[in-house]
Amino acid sequence: MQFSKQIAFITGAGAGIGRATALAFAGQGAKVAVSDINETTGQETVEQIKQAGSNAFFVRCDVADPAQIEAAINKTVEVFGRLDVAVNNAGIGGKFGKLLDQSKHDFDQMMAINVGSVFYGMQYQIRQMLGQENPGGRIVNVSSIAGVRGMPMGAPYSAAKHAVIGLTKTAALEYVRQGIRVNAVCPVYTHSAMVDDLIQAAPGMEDRMRRMIPMGRFGQPDEIAQAILWLCADDNAFTTGQALQLDGGMTAG
């Protein structure tokens, strides 16, 4: 029970990597604030955690709206008393298309959801972590392999995920002396609704995607969740400012 008595706040926890992460923290004893824009799937995650004998509640939050992020953090502290861990995971894949086919709306929406969520999320999370009794905390931001490489047909997404790494490293440096560790994970294709959408966008895409990964398979949400857990663990106290690539060997070559 590595996270016993700790409080974790997770965005986009109604599906995919976010849900797996919520279940993983709860399985290690954390009380989990399950946040998502989708109340139905978020409540399902809460039910799964409760059925496994752990503690969780749902708080609806559209991460494109800073006021909703602030309210969700406040609610977490009201319900559970403090904030130890935050995982800024919610995100969208955006439009599949070349740079010239991406509109201002496509770009602005991507920045609001995939970057604003991390920028404003960390502002409210770090303010809370510094102000509470026994200050400190750990934050993991979910970037992507598209945050360390270009991604043809996904310029806004790749730009957003690069920005997440810049925010992660900067926040890590700014608050390192105040007991806050900030890291990012950079998964390659991982089984989820987001990847299903991508596969459906182009025939033959799935095979091409698989061939890019030396392990010859996509990641599983729980494999990403376990890495997030490790980054937040108290016995991993020397790791901050990292962007951990979870890619089946892709970037080793």
List contacts with ligand NAD (CB under 6 A): 11-12, 14-18, 36-38, 41, 61-64, 89-92, 113, 142, 144, 187, 189-190, 192-195
Q: For Cα atoms 245, 250, 253, give the angle at the middle one, nearest 5 degrees.
A: 115
Give the shortest CB-58-to-ligand NAD separation in angstroms: 12
Give the shortest CB-110-to-ligand NAD separation in angstroms: 10
Task: Read off the tokens for 176.
Answer: 């390192």
Task: Read off the tokens for 24.
Answer: 């993983």
Distances (CA, A) of 50 to 25, 44, 57, 73, 87: 13, 10, 9, 21, 20
Q: Are 41 and 10 in contact (CB under 8 A)?
A: no
Task: Read off the tokens for 182.
Answer: 């900030």
Task: Read off the tokens for 18.
Answer: 């976010």
Concerning whether 157 is annotated as a catalytic residue, the answer is yes
Give the shortest CB-227-to-ligand NAD separation in angstroms: 12
Nearer to ligand NAD among residue 137 and residue 219 (C-beta)? 219
Give the shortest CB-47-to-ligand NAD separation in angstroms: 15
Helix (H) or strand (E) holding 199: helix 193-201
Taking the C-alpha atoms of residue 111 and residue 64, their distance in angstroms, rounded to an integer, is 9
User: CA neighbours within 13 Å on the CB side: how many for 121?
Assistant: 32
Taking the C-alpha atoms of residue 211 and residue 216, their distance in angstroms, rounded to an integer, is 6
Give the shortest CB-225-to-ligand NAD separation in angstroms: 10
- Give the chain's count of helices (H) and strands (E): 9, 7
- Name the catalytic one among 120, 157, 175, 189: 157
Nearer to ligand NAD among residue 192 and residue 240 (C-beta)? 192
Over its C-alpha atoms, the chain yields an Rg (Å, rounded) of 17
Q: Which sequence positions are flagged as catalytic?
A: 157
